[in-house]
Amino acid sequence: MTDVRVHLAKPEGHVPEGRAYLDIHGGGLVHGEGEFCRTGARRIADQHGVSCYAVDYRMPPDHPYPAALDDCVAVYRALLNRYSPENIIIGGASAGGNLAAATVLRARDEGLPLPAAVILLTPELDLTESGDSFETNQLVDVMLPRPLMNANLLYAAGHDLAHPYLSPLFGDFTTGFPPAFLQAGTRDLFLSNAVRMHRALLKAGSPVELHIFEGMPHGGFGGAAPEDRELSDELRRFVRQHWGAAQHSG
């Protein structure tokens, strides 16, 4: 569909026509390519029973910002040639949450229609790392014990870390943003990212849900804990709720 590497995963059995999930993988903006990206696509396709397109975006050091965002926007633009925007959901975890939100902001700024919804799981929305949890949850988060500033600087390649395409938390949401699902845990280094994004979207009048799980570190408990299953149930409910919903202005 584009010159970008994209992994397409479909669930077994019946696949609803006309719906697509655009997944953007995590990995601190410097890891997560290849098999990790493919595995994520298969998991999401099975979880939601829908075709999942996973962007295997370019990364530093060879391809710093804006290469990854260029790739994600290009894939979204290509999907709009195949699917109605109200039947596309964009999602990402960690660094993928950064790129998912940034993709929506840039697509909107370029005049593209907004997707049905955006899912931001334990998202890396603030590359300046200015939130409280970057101090309070250091070493408390067993999955991500330390900030990622070195990777952030490598990715940004001299651009302003506070620019909304690099740190979507600082974007303008008053001119349009799709319904959002935000998730984090009380022991997540990125907890402040989700909490502050929730407040920003509420202030802008944009529909948003915030799900904070007790004791959960970055990325969850590995999939087998009751909290992981509850999150999965909430995600399926949210996705079903927003497939084909009325298009929001942007």
What are the structural domain ranges in the chain? 6-242
Token pair of 22 as six digits: 């655009």
Question: Rounded mean pLDDT of 168-181?
Answer: 97
What is the per-residue DSSP string for 7-18? EEE--SS---TT
How many residues are recorded in the chain?
A: 250
Phi, psi at 6, each rounded to 5°: -130, 135
What are the residue ranges of helices labelled H in 177-225? Answer: 191-203
CA distance 126 to 97: 11
Has residue 166 got a pLDDT over 60? yes
Has residue 98 got a pLDDT over 50? yes
Q: What is the pLDDT of residues 29-71, one digit of tens each?
A: 999 999 999 999 999 999 999 999 999 999 999 999 999 999 9
Q: What is the pTM of this model?
A: 0.95
State how far the alpha carbon of 197 is from the alpha carbons of 9, 142, 178, in Å: 30, 23, 13
Q: What is the pLDDT of residues 197-223, one digit of tens each?
A: 999 999 999 999 999 999 999 999 988
Q: 20-24 and 51-55: which strand pairing?
A: parallel
Residue type, 20: A
Which strands form 180-185's sheet, in the order they lie side by side? 6-9, 51-55, 20-24, 88-93, 117-121, 180-185, 208-213
CA distance 50 to 43: 11
Count of other CB atoms within 10 angstroms of residue 52: 24
Residue 71 and residue 49 in contact, taking contact as beta carbons nearer than 8 Å: no
The architecture that CATH gives domain 6-242 is: 3-Layer(aba) Sandwich (3.40)
